[in-house]
């Protein structure tokens, strides 16, 4: 990390951040500013860690700005997998591409919630499912996607989809991709009807929420993309740029009748405003259900778009937020400033 920082290596942007103790700021590894003494440098894993340890973002390299692009070496990996999804890139192949396998594992684990090898495997199985649903022969699919035996393909397929490949034509899957944002990476998922999941990858309840999603939709979640995820990516970019105040991407958010009533009311809270839990409870006709409303609010599986961050305590305190209170504070401040016309690109912190 020190070598990357001293050489301003842009390929490490997003992999880690650098805190400067003497100035109280944190930067990208590629920051063009003069390099501080080594004793004044602190390496940081996430934006959250930077905020919680008292650092503020550098105004020169703007480490919280997002362009929706992964580092160049990650893009090369993704392109390679996309062009040849049936092949398996091993550690030796990564080294031949001048990519450290450990570095790839760390980046994919931090940003995509799985190792690079797991990403490749899930991608192959997702494409295999598509082929089966389109009527392809099972034997052909197994060989095409790199499995030397039917038993190996069957075991891998059933582990992911919960059904053997022979029944794959009746299996549906939720496709997921990972998005960059000024507040850290997000995992987003969608089905043909709309977006059904959006959450920060470091949320403690992430695995439980994904398990609930799989159960509610009776579908596995595999790497992939569709038009709804493309639209979500575009709208999130406009939202963080201060150019969008209302999301239009279709949503699929199944829950209990009470949860669905809460989530519907959340989407009716105007941009740049907040409501208390008590007011929310009265608005859905359940004035005594304040605690239950808080639980339903926390169970929201589509962060930002279904704005559970706009609910606060009666006193005005922020209350809870599954993605971390620092993110809730950021989102509320961002929306207030956009609404007031006081926001300027790159300066909302």
Q: Tens digit of pLDDT for each residue in 109-159?
A: 766 667 788 777 776 666 666 655 555 555 555 555 555 555 555 555 555
Residues 6+ apart with CB under 8 A from 207: none
Average pLDDT, the chain: 80
18 three-class SS: strand
27 tagged catalytic: yes
What does residue 17 show for φ and ψ, rounded to 5 degrees? -125, 165
Residues in the chain predicted with pLDDT less than 50, given as ranges, are 68, 168-169, 343, 345-349
In order of their start, the domains of the chain are 2-57 (3.40.10.10), 72-171 (1.10.10.60), 173-349 (1.10.10.10)
Three-class DSSP labels, 36-97: CCHHHEEEECCHHHHHHCCCEECCCCCCCCCCCCCCHHHHHHHHHHHHCCCCCCCHHHHHHC
Chain length of the chain: 349
Put residue 306 in one of left, alpha, beta given phi > 0 → left and psi -120 to 50 → alpha.
beta
Query: What pLDDT, in 10s, does the model give residues 295-330?
Result: 998 889 999 999 999 999 888 888 888 888 888 988
Give the sign of the dihedral formed by CA 180, CA 181, CA 185, CA 188. negative
- Rounded CA-CA distance 139/147 in Å is 10
The one catalytic residue among 58, 61, 196, 308: 308
Q: Show the tokens assigned to 185.
A: 């990476």
196 tagged catalytic: no
pTM above 0.85, yes or no: no
136 three-class SS: coil
The one catalytic residue among 27, 58, 61, 196: 27
């Amino acid at each position: 990390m020190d070598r990357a920082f001293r050489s301003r290596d842009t390929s490490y942007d997003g992999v880690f951040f650098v805190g400067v103790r003497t100035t109280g700021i944190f930067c990208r590894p590629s920051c063009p500013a003069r390099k501080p003494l080594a004793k004044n440098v602190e390496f940081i894993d996430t934006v959250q860690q930077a905020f919680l340890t008292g650092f503020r973002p550098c105004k020169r390299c703007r480490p919280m700005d997002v362009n929706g692009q992964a580092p160049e070496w990650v893009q090369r990996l993704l392109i390679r997998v996309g062009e040849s999804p049936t092949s398996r890139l091993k550690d030796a192949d990564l080294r031949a591409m001048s990519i450290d396998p450990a570095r790839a594992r760390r980046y994919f684990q931090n940003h995509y919630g799985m190792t690079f090898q797991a990403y490749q495997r899930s991608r192959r199985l997702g494409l295999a499912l598509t082929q089966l649903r389109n009527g392809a022969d099972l034997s052909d699919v197994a060989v095409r996607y790199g499995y030397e035996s039917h038993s190996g393909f069957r075991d891998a397929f059933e582990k992911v989809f919960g059904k053997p490949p022979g029944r794959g034509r009746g299996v549906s899957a939720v496709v997921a991709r990972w998005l960059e944002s000024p507040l850290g990476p997000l995992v987003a998922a969608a089905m043909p009807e709309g977006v059904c999941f959006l959450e920060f990858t470091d949320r403690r309840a992430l695995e439980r929420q994904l398990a609930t999603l799989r159960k509610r939709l009776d579908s596995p979640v595999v790497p992939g993309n569709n038009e709804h995820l493309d639209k979500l990516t575009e709208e999130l970019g406009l939202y963080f740029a201060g150019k969008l105040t209302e999301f239009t991407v279709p949503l699929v958010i199944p829950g209990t009748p009470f949860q669905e009533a809460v989530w519907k009311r959340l989407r009716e809270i105007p941009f740049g405003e907040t409501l208390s839990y008590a007011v929310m409870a009265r608005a859905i006709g359940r004035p005594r259900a304040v605690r239950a409303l808080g639980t339903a609010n926390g169970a929201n599986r589509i962060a930002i778009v279904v704005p559970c961050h706009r609910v606060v305590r009666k006193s005005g305190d922020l209350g809870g937020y599954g993605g971390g209170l620092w993110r809730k504070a950021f989102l509320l401040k961002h929306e207030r400033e956009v609404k007031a016309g006081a926001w300027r690109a790159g300066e909302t912190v």
